[in-house]
Structure 1
Amino acid sequence: MMNNLFSIFDPSTSILNLNLNWLSSLLILSFIPPNYWLTPSKLSSLLTLLVTNLKKELSILLSTSHPTSSPLILITLFLFILTNNVLGLAPYIFTASSHLSFTLSIAVPLWLTAILYGWLQNTLHSLAHLVPQGTPTPLMMFMVCIETTSNCIRPITLSVRLAANMIAGHLLMTLLSNTLTNINIMTYIILTPAQLMLIMLESAVAIIQAYVFTILTTLYISESS
């Protein structure tokens, strides 16, 4: 039962041993009409408003030493994760963001870039972060070990947080959907609103998790300056 349940997250569509499920990350291009790029529309206005607000918030978190393009890179990251999360809610569409191979491939390069930049450009500042201000001398060695471990597990926590939240919601929807197929009409009427509420909750989780991933990545980058 559990093997069948978790098999919904396995890449199964393949041609010539190529897992074509991962192409779901590019499906957003098929939903954008050609005139989106040429004439203003409600969709482009909504996207412009979203990008503007996110840029203001991310610019506050980032220090002035970072290039002005840094918020735009992080906004692109947010939109990419958001797209994968939302498309995964549709039937028969592979949810790439529910896999650690997907989330780790995003988190590790970003974390490694921030760490290398911090240690190469601001070595003394990075060393000072290992020992918080006011730490007693006997505890300094322990604090260095704790802070080093904390820095090293950051990409893992970022990846697991995103993948676990997406998997949990999809499992709940799968379990409830399987239950609806083997019940009487009265129970069906009662559980259908619960299913709709769960879908709304998962839609909110898809947006929130993309936002949390981007904000935490921004904070890690700002600490390296």
Structure 2
Amino acid sequence: MQPLFHFAASNLVISAIYLARGNHESRSMNKIYGFEGEVRSKLSEKFVELFAEVFCCLPLAHVINQKVFVVHGGLFSVDGVKLSDIKAVDRFCEPPEEGLMCELLWSDPQPFPGRGPSKRGVGLSFGADVTRKFLQDNNLDLIVRSHEVKDEGYEIEHDGKLITIFSAPNYCDQMGNKGAYIRFEAPDLKPNIVTFSAVPHPDVKPMAYANNFLRMFQ
């Protein structure tokens, strides 16, 4: 059984960073979208393998103060999933195309109840009722996830029980969106959302190291 990281919010200076795995932390996504090519170009093949190994060690989710569930993608195709089920997932592998690990990395919220097919072709879409049931089953208050570009850098959905946060402003130098992050301060853990705009960066074209097939559409 692998650990689901639990950590506490406080008013102290942060002394550690907790990383979570996303859907792009996989060999297939790294190859298609350019990370593998950039690492190989700037470093070496050894580092390509090292990153792949590190990505397989990243936790799939976190819980802050036993109340806030943090994940990259979203929830599940079945009800009744407990934190203990997530802890039991063997994450030290490439993500499968179905099951709990896949859904944690790939799923998205939807504005209507129930579940539906994913616009991505992987994972699923889930409604506010699914969010509410998961929170109740696990005695949690809030879900924080990312995985989707938002114009203002964030969006609050599902009756305030789910926040999408996206920290990359002007995504791929094309979307014009703001970035955002959340600060949770003890003891009430009320989310304080901070937004910001993009700043100049080195002149590297978006997807410069991407798979040649993808560059055909730019």
Structure with greater helix share of residues = 1
TM-score (structure 1 length as normaliser): 0.25
- If asked which structure has higher relative contact order (CA below 8 Å, sep 6+), I would say 1
Report which of the two structures shows the higher radius of gyration computed on alpha carbons.
1
- The alignment's TM-score, normalised by the length of structure 2, stands at 0.25
The structure richer in strand per residue is 2
